[in-house]
Amino acid sequence: MRAAAPAGTAKELQSLRPRRWDAISAAVVLLFIVPELLPRHGGPAAVAFDLAFAVPLLWRSRWPLPVFLVIAGLAFVQWLSGTRVLGDVALLIAFYTVASREDRRTALIAAGILQFGVILALARWFHGSHIRSFVGLTGLVAAAGILGRNIRNRRQLLESLHERASRLELERDQQGRLAAAAERARIARELHDVVAHNLTVMIALADGAAYTLRDAPDDAQVALETASGTGRRALAEMRRLLGVLREDDAGQSGGGRDPAPGVPQIDALVEQVRAAGLPVSYRVSPEARALPDGIQLTLFRIVQEALTNTLKHAGPTATAAVEVSADEREVRVSVADTGTTTVAGAGGNGGAGLRGMRERAAVYSGVVDAGPRPQGGWVVAAQLPLPSSAPAEEPEPE
């Protein structure tokens, strides 16, 4: 609430500024009453006209054209009465206001009315010096109009600059919100991959330990130790992700971050899944181990998610085969199992895991296909073009 007070005060001061100038202009016209009070000058009629000219100027900023027309009407009455007063300068002030606040057509009409008044005044009061008086009065009219138009143009320029600055600020805020949404989506994918895979492995190991606890306690102990190690690795990776968030928020360089997993880490991933009870065969071409870090992370996460789904849904007798290969144009990854997976069990097109794999591949213009195999089981296949034909890489968390 306190922050709104200065802005409100500024608006109030800005609204008071035109009123202040209106009062000053009216006071300037009232100063011409002093000469009218001198002997052999205008007398009471001149003072009355000066007062009549000054009062409408108090509202000239709010109603420019009506005030000008009122003063012009008073000037015509003055002309009819034959009273010469110095307060006629109010016409120039009112015309300046019209030129500075109204459109060009209105300003030209007001200029025509004022110029007609100049001609009337010359016909009645300026005998013998028409040309010189006409040039002088017309120059005053032109000066008031030009000054008013210049002020109007400057005001419009400032308003356009303020509007542009506000629009740029709004666009900046929108870009910030979009970037934050994209970052949240990226982090959500990372957390899903880490948590889902490691929890699935830990559940499988815990179930295996429970089955073998009485008959083979040594195997149960090995399974529990593996589950414990899996949990520690999951906790370490969670801490790494949260550390990335804290370092990004604090603006740190993040030079101490652990490297993101890639193709070399698929070996350990396969061993982890094997320890959970799923037989997995794994083949990788040498070219795949030399890919850019971002593509390697994408391949690792696709394999991780596919094996996680196999552990969840393929059944206790299933086996899996992982193959990663690359050539000059693209890299391919395939994860196939021999289980009894159904479309609903694997997540289908609407599953969060499959959707995350497709989003990761789409970053590099890649595609992911998933579906049942003709000979039974389920297969996940992805193809990603290599950087020579792919778009610029999106930065990945390290």
Query: Band of the pLDDT at 255, cuts 50, 70, 90?
Result: very low
Predicted pLDDT at 22 = 67
* Percent of the residues in the chain that have a pLDDT greater than 70, as a whole number: 71
What average pLDDT does this structure show over 331-357?
70
Q: Which domains are present in the chain?
A: 4-125 (no CATH), 259-398 (3.30.565.10)
Predicted pLDDT at 331 = 92
* Percent of the residues in the chain that have a pLDDT greater than 90, as a whole number: 6
Q: pLDDT per residue over 231-248, tens digit each?
A: 766 666 666 666 555 555
Query: 252 pLDDT exceeds 60?
Result: no
Q: pLDDT per residue over 51-63, tens digit each?
A: 787 778 788 778 8
Predicted pLDDT at 58 = 80
Query: Band of the pLDDT at 13, cuts 50, 70, 90?
Result: very low
Q: pLDDT per residue over 303-329, tens digit each?
A: 988 888 888 888 778 899 999 998 888
Gap between the Cα atoms of 199 and 67, Å rounded: 80
Query: 145 pLDDT exceeds 90?
Result: no
SS3 282: strand
Question: Which position has the higher pLDDT, 393 or 148?
Answer: 148
What average pLDDT does this structure show over 347-358?
66
Query: 380 pLDDT exceeds 90?
Result: yes
Query: 389 pLDDT exceeds 50?
Result: no
Tokens of 199: 């929890």
Which regions of 256-366 does DSSP assign to beta strands (E)? 280-284, 320-326, 330-337
Q: Are strands 320-326 and 280-284 parallel, antiparallel or unpaired?
A: parallel
What average pLDDT does this structure show over 186-203?
69
Predicted pLDDT at 219 = 73
Query: 354 pLDDT exceeds 70?
Result: yes
Tokens of 129: 């010096």
What average pLDDT does this structure show over 121-143?
76
Q: pLDDT per residue over 149-194, tens digit each?
A: 888 888 888 888 888 888 888 887 777 777 767 766 666 676 666 6
Query: Band of the pLDDT at 301, cuts 50, 70, 90?
Result: confident
Q: pLDDT per residue over 362-378, tens digit each?
A: 878 889 999 898 888 89
What average pLDDT does this structure show over 201-219?
72
Ranking 131-145, 255-269, 278-292 by mean pLDDT, the lowest is 255-269
Predicted pLDDT at 132 = 76
Query: 258 pLDDT exceeds 50?
Result: yes
Predicted pLDDT at 335 = 93
DSSP letters, 224-281, are HHHHHHHHHHHHHHHHHHHHHHHHHHHT---TTPPPPP-GGGHHHHHHHHHHTT--EE
- Averaged pLDDT of the chain: 75
Query: 111 pLDDT exceeds 80?
Result: yes
Instruction: Write the burial class of residue 75 (CB in 10 Å: 0-12 exposed, 13-18 middle, 19+ buried).
Output: buried
The side-by-side arrangement of strands in the sheet containing 367-372 is 280-284, 320-326, 330-337, 378-385, 367-372
